[in-house]
Amino acid sequence: MMDPQGKSSSTSTLLLMGMMILVFYFFMIRPQAKKAKTQKKYIADLQKGDKVVTIAGIHGVINKVNDDNTVNLETSPGSYMKIEKSAISMEWSAALNKPATEEKK
């Protein structure tokens, strides 16, 4: 025979597990998916003259966007590298122009 307390215990355990899954989704999965979507849009919108940083930490300016999903990156005057678009981590100029802290008024 099932004890009423046992049934209540299993119900509360299932409810707790469901709440943990929701918390995990809203604090871990959803922000990561949003960041990936933003990064994908940024990669698609790359153009000549953008200052970027690669995932290896190489800073440079995009000299040419190629049709084969690569870009020519000028790392120093006269020095060029051909890299995959997916290897670009972030925009260098936006990171430099971003204020360090915002004041509350």
| Assessment of whether the complete model's pTM goes beyond 0.85 | no
Residues 3-48 pLDDT 10s: 555 566 888 899 999 999 999 888 888 888 898 898 889 898 889 9
In whole angstroms, give the CA distance from residue 42 to residue 7. 51
Residues 68-103 pLDDT 10s: 999 999 999 999 999 999 999 877 766 566 555 555
What is the reported pLDDT for 82? 95
The listed CATH number (2.30.30.140, 2.40.30.10, 3.30.2350.10, 3.40.50.2300) that belongs to domain 47-100? 2.30.30.140
What is the reported pLDDT for 80? 95
* Sign of the dihedral defined by the CA atoms of residues 67, 73, 74, 78, in that order: negative
Q: What is the 3-state secondary structure (H, E, C) of the chain?
A: CCCHHHHHHHHHHHHHHHHHHHHHHHHHHHHHHHHHHHHHHHHHCCCCCCEEEECCCCEEEEEEECCCCEEEEEEECCEEEEEEHHHEEEEHHHHHHCCCCCCCC
Longest Cα–Cα distance of the chain, Å, equals: 82
